[in-house]
Amino acid sequence: MAQREDTTDLNEKRIHIVALDIPYPANYGGVIDIFNRIRALNNSGIRITLHAFYSNRPEAPELKEYCDSIFYYKRKMSISNFFSFMPFIVKTRIDKKLLYNLLRDTDPIIFEGLHTTAYLNHTRLKGRIKLVRMHNIEYEYYYQLAKSEKNVLRKLYNLLEGFKLKRYEKIITVADHVVTISPNDYDHYNATYPNIELIPSSHSSRKIESLPGYGEYIFYHGKLSVPENENAVMFLLKNVFSRIKTPFIVAGMNPSNKLKRTIKKLDYVTLIANPPEEEMLKLIREAHINLIVTFQATGLKLKLLKSLYNGRFCIVNSPMVSGTGLEPLCEIADTADDLVKTIDEFMHINFSPDHIKIRHQNLMLMFDPVANAKKWTSLLFPEE
């Protein structure tokens, strides 16, 4: 446990945040949202006690800059937890030390993801202000994972986990507010549950960093160990980049050997595995087109947001932007033929200052970090 010296005025606002993973480094979707929310709330004067579950990420001393106290809890990854009626992602994050630490005061609590909600309805937390941040429609996410998974055992696990999550999610009725990440998710939950709010993703960008002019390559980035992302890249390699000669760069975390072998055979394609954040941003900014394709329309893909804030043209398919409100800022192409045609068209178009101005006007309406921090604060401290 890491702790910062307490010099707190009794009138200062304090909260607990229960994170599904250690939110630093902020290098994949869920932890990007969590880390940047921690930073934004801290900058607005809120003092934070962070509780972080982990399995394979190290403790992060960098978080001490934003948190008064940090408690770490190792996930219980026992095989017996697969056979629980409770979803595996929840069951493995039960720790009595967490409950004890939450009961040390009466501060409001943000539960990050359905993953962390095992104690949401605990009798000893009754009367506390409790918010649940929904990063996805979780059961749909697991059903989609099952569709893209070729390994029979993993496919069965994803189907079963989706079934458990659909049954389990009614626990969110106990929360004072359920905070969704996209308009699509808001509509889904608001049709069934009370107290649903929409606050878009917290992110690191404070202004549009896109460069005007032309780039020389097309870029795809994502967590490449995720089957959804690998399937998207394989689709692009087979159906799009086999037909064009524009340089294509793929970058991301932990690509499989299969993906490495496939890319090695292609003359116009380069793979960059596990680039540091600065290099990733440079690749996004210098590309002429950020190509972002998914076959899993769940949540808001933060790689899209990063590309819109930092890159030039964004070409996407419909599932990537469906229900996000970001459709007007992207070029949408759904078939391989349309992708080839759109890429060919936009590789010859100058990304102008007018493009940047329009992007700024639209993104700041939804994703202004200061305004969104105020929304979180009003939910956490409703009487002030």
The per-residue pLDDT for 377 is 97
Least Cα distance to 309 among 220, 207, 201, 217 occurs for 207
The per-residue pLDDT for 9 is 56
Residues 243 and 195 in one domain: no
The per-residue pLDDT for 346 is 97
Residues 164 and 278 in one domain: no
* Residue burial 187-202, b: 16+ Cβ < 10 Å; e: rest: ebbeeeeebbbbbbbb
Residues 373 and 329 in one domain: no
Residues 198 and 299 in one domain: no
The per-residue pLDDT for 206 is 73
Residues 142 and 111 in one domain: yes
Residues 199 and 222 in one domain: no
Q: 360 in a domain, yes or no?
A: no
For residue 3, the SS3 value is: strand
Q: 106 in a domain, yes or no?
A: yes
Q: 223 in a domain, yes or no?
A: yes
The pTM (predicted TM-score) of the whole model is 0.83
Residues 53 and 195 in one domain: yes
Residues 239 and 293 in one domain: yes
Q: Which residue has the tokens 């399995």?
A: 55
Question: Containing domain of residue 250, as a range?
Answer: 218-351
Alpha-carbon distance of 127 to 113, in angstroms, equals 21
For residue 15, the SS3 value is: strand
Stretch (H or E) spanning 160: helix 152-168
Q: 209 in a domain, yes or no?
A: no
List the chain residues with pLDDT less than 50.
4-8
**Residue 224 and residue 230 in contact, taking contact as beta carbons nearer than 8 Å:** yes
Residues 6+ apart with CB under 8 A from 284: 219, 221, 290, 306, 307, 310, 311
Q: 212 in a domain, yes or no?
A: no
Q: 231 in a domain, yes or no?
A: yes
Whole-angstrom CA distances from 258 to 124, 144, 153, 263, 307 are: 50, 21, 19, 9, 26
Residues 65 and 172 in one domain: yes
Kindly report the CATH number assigned to the domain that includes residue 99: 3.40.50.2000
Residues 16 and 162 in one domain: yes
The per-residue pLDDT for 203 is 76
pLDDT tens-place string over residues 32-60: 899 999 999 999 999 999 999 999 899 99
Residues 291 and 198 in one domain: no
Residue 284 region, left (φ>0) first, then alpha (ψ -120 to 50), else beta?
alpha
Q: What percent of the chain has pLDDT over 90?
A: 74
The per-residue pLDDT for 7 is 47
Q: Which residue has the tokens 């404070």?
A: 206
Residue 132 region, left (φ>0) first, then alpha (ψ -120 to 50), else beta?
beta
Domains held by the chain: number = 2
Stretch (H or E) spanning 168: helix 152-168
For residue 120, the SS3 value is: coil
The per-residue pLDDT for 296 is 75
Residues 21 and 49 in one domain: yes
Q: 335 in a domain, yes or no?
A: yes
Q: 146 in a domain, yes or no?
A: yes
